[in-house]
Amino acid sequence: MKLAVNGIPSSAQTAVDLLAAEWDLTVTSTAAVQLTVAQGNDGLRISRAADTGTIQYSSAATLLRGLTEWLAHAQNELHFDYQEKAPAAKLGLFLDQHGAARLNDAALRQLLRRAAMLGYDQMLVATMPGTDYATAEHYAHLLGLQFTVTAWKREDATSPLIGAVVPLYTNRGLAPNQGRLRLTATTPAGDQDMWAAALFSEGAETPAVTLAWGLQMVAEYHYQTAVTPQWVAAQFWLMQHEDADGFLALDQFDNFKRRGKANREGSNPSKILFYMDWLYPRFWHQFGGVDAEKHYRVLADKLASAVTTQQTRSMYTYYHQLALYLSRKAHVLQTLTDAYRNDDHDEMTGVISELTVLADQLDELHDAYWQMWRQERTTFGWHTMDSRFGGLKQRLATTIDWLNDWQTGQAAPLVSVPDQPGKLGFATYGEIVAP
């Protein structure tokens, strides 16, 4: 959109220039539409009357948020007038840049541009000690945005976070816990600073692009006096051009509860099923009463029809393939278990054939995840996931060999291993693959 913009303070000009491409904004004095921005103390107000627009903002953060909203509304509206409150506190992002979770510079810029457009102005970075990533100056140099940047070494005993902290729940499994996030984000922050905390698991298995929905939700609770799920979804589409239904579907990787119920305990069945051993499935009994094969097949259908953007296309490709793999694994795992217990060699022949197909499917899943990882993170952490995928692939090959021997009576009986006690819950990678 071409605009003639007046009133941008010199302190914010660099940030506006950096975000112009994100907004699809061209500033020119000859544009037909005139936009005037002015600072005040009454929060954020954006309006347009035909070829005249105004933005009244209270801080640098609300200015960038206001420009994002004004330009989005102006795409389809000639007349509008919207107002938001003036938060007394700051809105920040606490970002895990430690170990495998570390984003590459390009992905970090993209993430923080999105955050700035939503009205964030603080960033606390959990860093790796002994590298240039351990300095706040490194991140400030990358951004050029109006962010206050603080670096924190994770081995330090005291966290510098002060205020209301909203976890984005990306640190438990293969996908974010969107339902639990919704419950947590509704906690009023009052006059405290509000932080969206983006932490990751020991393998950083949840893609950073999934943070988009959580960042939007936390921002809405910071800037609005009343928030509904429908409002957040509308703002998500308006400000980030992303579809809420697709992002909320990711909740179903770890949530077997009926619609509208959150995964409050933070269980991670998708991770458990993904890494669970074929011959010694110690956790499989915990899936009793759940039709995992159907659940993930339905989820795959949802993800296949999700509205994608350039930013999310690779994410949906990966998650669609993951849901298909989990559905087939659940089916084959149950069939294998039954065939072995019943000494059914005819059934086991089909199992071996399906395991061969799954091996190819696992290769495709690895490739999809690798493509997404390369877009987001450094190569430093990929060795962890390469080892995990490699272990899964080799374990599949070993399982097929053992089953072929079992078919001809050459395999010794499997050693009895006790089931993992308890209901379906949370387990780390090490606990899942441990004998």
- pLDDT tens digits, one per residue of 323-370: 999 999 999 999 999 999 999 999 999 999 999 999 999 999 999 999
User: d(Cα 96, Cα 108) in Å, to the nearest integer?
Assistant: 11
Report H helices in 80-130.
Answer: 105-118
| Residue in 420, 413, 424 with CA at minimum distance from that of residue 434 | 420
Task: Tell me the pLDDT tens digit for each residue of 104-146.
Answer: 989 998 999 999 999 999 998 887 666 555 666 667 666 777 7
Q: What's the burial of 380, exposed, middle or buried (CB within 10 Å: 0-12/13-18/19+)?
A: middle
Look over the chain and give the mean of its residue pLDDT values, rounded to a whole number: 91
Lowest model confidence (mean pLDDT) among 13-27, 146-160, 188-202: 146-160
| Section 228-249 average pLDDT | 96
For residue 155, is pLDDT > 70? no
Q: What percent of the chain has pLDDT over 90?
A: 69
User: d(Cα 110, Cα 95) in Å, to the nearest integer?
Assistant: 13
What are the backbone dihedrals phi and psi of residue 168, each rounded to the nearest 5 degrees, phi first? -90, 0
Q: What is the pLDDT of residue 249?
A: 96
CB 58 within 8 A of CB 41: yes
User: d(Cα 422, Cα 103) in Å, to the nearest integer?
Assistant: 36
Residue with token string 């993992």: 420
Q: What is the pLDDT of residue 164?
A: 85
For residue 188, is pLDDT > 90? no
**194-198, strands of its sheet edge to edge:** 148-153, 122-127, 91-96, 194-198, 164-167
What confidence tier does 63 reach under pLDDT thresholds 50, 70, 90? very high
Regarding predicted confidence, which is higher, 134 or 268? 268
For residue 189, is pLDDT > 60? no
* C-alpha torsion 343→346→350→355, nearest 10: 40
Q: What is the pLDDT of residue 128?
A: 67
Regarding predicted confidence, which is higher, 232 or 129? 232
Residue with token string 């039954």: 338
Q: Is the dihedral of CA 304, 310, 314, 316 positive or negative?
A: negative
User: d(Cα 2, Cα 32) in Å, to the nearest integer?
Assistant: 8
User: d(Cα 400, Cα 416) in Å, to the nearest integer?
Assistant: 19
For residue 185, is pLDDT > 70? yes
Report H helices in 287-381.
Answer: 292-304, 313-341, 345-376
CB 74 within 8 A of CB 35: no
What are the backbone dihedrals phi and psi of residue 127, each rounded to the nearest 5 degrees, phi first? -110, 170
User: d(Cα 83, Cα 72) in Å, to the nearest integer?
Assistant: 15
Q: Is the dihedral of CA 94, 99, 101, 102 positive or negative?
A: positive
Strands (DSSP E) found in 109-246: 122-127, 148-153, 164-167, 194-198
Strands (DSSP E) found in 145-203: 148-153, 164-167, 194-198
* Amino acid making up residue 404: N
| Section 76-105 average pLDDT | 89
Which of 7-16, 160-169, 197-206 is modeled with the greatest confidence? 7-16
Number of other residues whose CB lies within 10 A of the CB of residue 16: 20
SS3 151: strand
| Section 184-198 average pLDDT | 77
Q: How does DSSP classify residue 278?
A: S
Number of other residues whose CB lies within 10 A of the CB of residue 148: 12
Report H helices in 197-243.
Answer: 211-223, 229-240
| Section 180-194 average pLDDT | 75
Alpha-carbon distances of 240 from 65, 94, 132, 143, rounded to whole Å: 11, 20, 31, 19
CB 136 within 8 A of CB 126: no
Q: What is the pLDDT of residue 88?
A: 76
User: d(Cα 159, Cα 98) in Å, to the nearest integer?
Assistant: 14
Spell out the residues 6+ positions from residue 141 whose beta carbon is closer than 8 angstroms to its own. none
